[in-house]
Amino acid sequence: MTSFIEVQNAEMVFTTRKGRFHALREIHLTVAKGEFVTLIGHSGCGKSTLLNLIAGLTLPTSGVLICDNREIAAPGPERAVVFQNHSLLPWLTCFENVHLAVERVFGGSETKARLKERTAAALALVGMGHAMHKRPHEVSGGMKQRVGIARALAMEPKVLLMDEPFGALDALTRAHLQDELLKIVARTQSTVVMVTHDVDEAVLLSDRIVMMTNGPAATIGEILPVHLPRPRNRVELAEDHDYVHCRKQVLDFLYTRHGHVEKAA
Amino acid sequence: MVSAVFHSPLDAAAEAAAPRATPVAKPAAPLPAPAPVARAERPPREPFDWRELFMRVLPPVLGMALLIGVWALLTMNSTSFPSPAVTFDAAVKLFADPFYSKGPNDQGIGWNILFSLQRVAVGFGLAALVGIPLGFIIGRFEFFSRMFSPLISLLKPVSPLAWLPIGLLVFKAANPAAIWTIFICSIWPMVVNTAVGVQRVPQDYLNVARVLNLSEWKIITRILFPAVLPYMLTGVRLSVGTAWLVIVAAEMLTGGVGIGFWVWDEWNNLNVQHIIIAIFVIGIVGLLLEQMLMLVAKRFSFDD
């Protein structure tokens, strides 16, 4: 396995009105092609910041990030992002939202009919084929998030970056979309980096779980490989020894060793 | 308030239908499912809401009656100030032939209104042509924002009529001067609101644009313009209101044909009932302009 994404000694310092805020320090991380990695940690630990660095939405204060042997200097469609709050454009239909992305990536080389096919295929993949001509406010939160995923997948990205994609959904919808995501990723062999605060979600989906220490100046505390065979079934795994063990280790890291101390900031 | 009353059952039905569609398999017949929802909601809607109608019609009618009543009471024994009845008679006569024309200084009220509206349209149109792009530039580029902000703050509070002599000096004619006054007064709300709208475009949408690596043209047409449109329309609405306020004053000073000039002319004739009619006409036209733009704004507002 060769490294596909490489983060070398990344530091992130934000300059705010209140002064300098050291968000991330000494981040070293490699992600292999086709690997599913989740970033987990308490809120404010900089996991979203790290994802934004990989996306290129923010640039590190120092250090280097590399994706597919090229330095990450700006965002681009080869690193598609699924945003936490879906970020669909409310004045476009679900179809148009996805088409905007498809048009950008494939518009130069493919016919219009083919672009429409791609858009429809991406929406069908996430089970949104029936509602593609509705506007985002006409569909439920789970459906919006599906369209957000469809938009990202339609670009055929090298890396899929997901920032707590299911955080705002109810537990049942979340479980359903996790299962869908597992199937889609198995089919497309995508490389995925996902931010989450849900231990079960991390263990169920990941090949490796990157556990982050508490901020400020957060860093990677530990990386836990999850050697559970795929395809994974959440019901069967509930009593699986390895699954329970992984879960315990993550919980142990988050609550015993790096319990979130509510300091008077 | 009205929309809240009429929309809520629809929203509730949509929300009831949405979760059903997500987790359950699709083949479950879509037709029979919504039917019971609709039937369950019909009974409470069946009896006609008399109270609602009552509340919507009675208070405005009472308000109007109060105005006319006080006016009638105060003018009961007055000889100089016309009573509502006299004014109404004059209005009937006036609107019987709104489009006569007996020379430049004696034209029907219809012509006067149309001439005023035309001036407003030209002045306001020019202001929109300049103000909206300027607002975009100020909103998008920090440099221009800092460059123009002091100028706008300085010029915005200036009374419209202070601009009129400048217009007369530059254009040497009454009509362009009036249009110039409209232009300079109605441009500020559009510039400011458009700029604020551009600055408030949610960062999420701009992040989407960055990740998709959209061209500047696509960013403007697909993200900035639709996101800014509601703000822009607020600016337009304020501008039209200002323009209609200003035109009356400007026309009083410049003369010609127009509702403002007409008011002044009728004052010189001591025809007070016509002045009162003009006040109502100006109010109603302003109200219609406002309502028209509200409709447009509603059409283009997006609820997320």
Q: What is the pLDDT of residues B31-63, one digit of tens each?
A: 444 444 444 445 555 677 888 888 888 999 999
pLDDT of residue A192 exceeding 90: yes
pLDDT above 90: percentage of residues in chain A? 34
Provide the terminal-to-terminal Cα distance of chain A, rounded to the nearest Å.
42
- Looking at residue B14, its pLDDT comes to 42
Sheet containing strand A19-32, strands side by side? A19-32, A3-16, A62-67, A70-71
* Partner-chain contact A100 B222, CB within 8 Å: yes
* Partner-chain contact B226 A91, CB within 8 Å: yes
Lowest mean pLDDT among A1-5, A210-214, B55-59: A1-5
Task: Pick the residue of A59, A93, A100 with the most B CBs within 10 A to test the interface with B by mutation.
Answer: A100
Side-chain half-sphere CA neighbours of A46 within 13 A: 28
Contacts with A172 from chain B: Cβ below 8 Å: 23
Banded model confidence at residue B20, pLDDT cuts 50, 70, 90:
very low
Across chain B, mean pLDDT equals 81
Q: Report yes or no: A202 and A7 within 8 Å, Cβ to Cβ.
A: no
A73 at B interface, C-beta within 8 A: no
* Partner-chain contact B304 A138, CB within 8 Å: no
Q: Which residue has the higher pLDDT, A252 or B13?
A: A252
- Looking at residue A38, its pLDDT comes to 94
Banded model confidence at residue B134, pLDDT cuts 50, 70, 90:
very high
- Looking at residue B194, its pLDDT comes to 93
Cα dihedral B147/B149/B155/B157 (nearest 10): -170
Query: Is A151 inside any structural domain?
Result: no
From the list A77, A89, A135, which residue is nearest B205 (CB)?
A89
Locate the domains of chain B by residue range: 2-83, 109-299
Nearest to A80 by CA among A46, A105, A49: A105
Residues B179 and B160: their CA atoms lie apart, in Å, by 11
A175 at B interface, C-beta within 8 A: no
Mean pLDDT for B211-239 is: 88
Pairing state of beta strands A208-212 and A70-71? unpaired
Q: Which CATH architecture has domain B109-299?
A: Orthogonal Bundle (1.10)
Show the tokens assigned to B7. Answer: 């929309």
Which range, A154-158, A160-164, A213-217, has the best average confidence (pLDDT)? A160-164
From the list A75, A138, A173, which residue is nearest B211 (CB)?
A75
Question: φ and ψ at B176, to 5 degrees?
Answer: -60, -30
Banded model confidence at residue A207, pLDDT cuts 50, 70, 90:
very high
∠A139-B215-A96 over CA atoms, to 5°?
A: 20
A58 at B interface, C-beta within 8 A: no
Query: Is A165 inside any structural domain?
Result: no
- Looking at residue B253, its pLDDT comes to 85
* Partner-chain contact B304 A75, CB within 8 Å: no
For residue B214, what is the nearest residue in chain A, using CA coordinates?
A104
From the list A83, A137, A155, which residue is nearest B204 (CB)?
A83
* Partner-chain contact B18 A140, CB within 8 Å: yes
Which residue matches tokens 């398999």?
A: B25
Q: What is the pLDDT of residues B80-95, one digit of tens each?
A: 888 888 888 888 888 8
- Looking at residue A78, its pLDDT comes to 87
- Looking at residue B129, its pLDDT comes to 94
- Residue B133: strand, helix, or coil: helix
User: What is the least distance, in Å, from the CA of A235 to any CA of chain B?
Assistant: 17
- Looking at residue B66, its pLDDT comes to 94
Residues A39 and A217: their CA atoms lie apart, in Å, by 16
Side-chain half-sphere CA neighbours of B275 within 13 A: 15
Burial of A57 from C-beta contacts in 10 A (0-12 / 13-18 / 19+): buried
- Name, in order, each residue with C-beta under 8 angstroms of B90's C-beta and a sequence gap of 6 or more: B82, B273, B274, B277
∠A147-A148-A151 over CA atoms, to 5°?
A: 85
pLDDT of residue B302 exceeding 70: no
Banded model confidence at residue A36, pLDDT cuts 50, 70, 90:
very high
Mean pLDDT for A203-224 is: 90
A91 at B interface, C-beta within 8 A: yes
Query: Is A107 inside any structural domain?
Result: no
- Looking at residue B62, its pLDDT comes to 93
Task: Pick the residue of A91, A97, A143 with the most B CBs within 10 A to test the interface with B by mutation.
Answer: A91
pLDDT of residue A59 exceeding 80: yes
* Partner-chain contact A77 B213, CB within 8 Å: yes
Question: φ and ψ at A18, to 5 degrees?
Answer: -80, -5
Q: Model-level pTM?
A: 0.72
Residue-range definition of the domain harbouring residue A212: 1-72+190-265
Query: Is A148 inside any structural domain?
Result: no
CATH of the domain at A236: 3.40.50.300
pLDDT of residue A145 exceeding 60: yes
Query: Is A168 inside any structural domain?
Result: no
Query: Is A3 inside any structural domain?
Result: yes
Banded model confidence at residue B154, pLDDT cuts 50, 70, 90:
very high
- Looking at residue B11, its pLDDT comes to 43
- Looking at residue A85, its pLDDT comes to 83
B7 at A interface, C-beta within 8 A: no
Number of domains in chain A: 1
pLDDT of residue B109 exceeding 70: yes
- Looking at residue A261, its pLDDT comes to 58
For residue A97, what is the nearest residue in chain B, using CA coordinates?
B222
ipTM exceeds 0.90: no
Q: What is the pLDDT of residues A88-139, one digit of tens each?
A: 998 899 999 999 999 988 988 889 999 999 999 889 888 888 888 899 988 9
Lowest mean pLDDT among A13-22, A57-66, B197-206, B271-280: A13-22
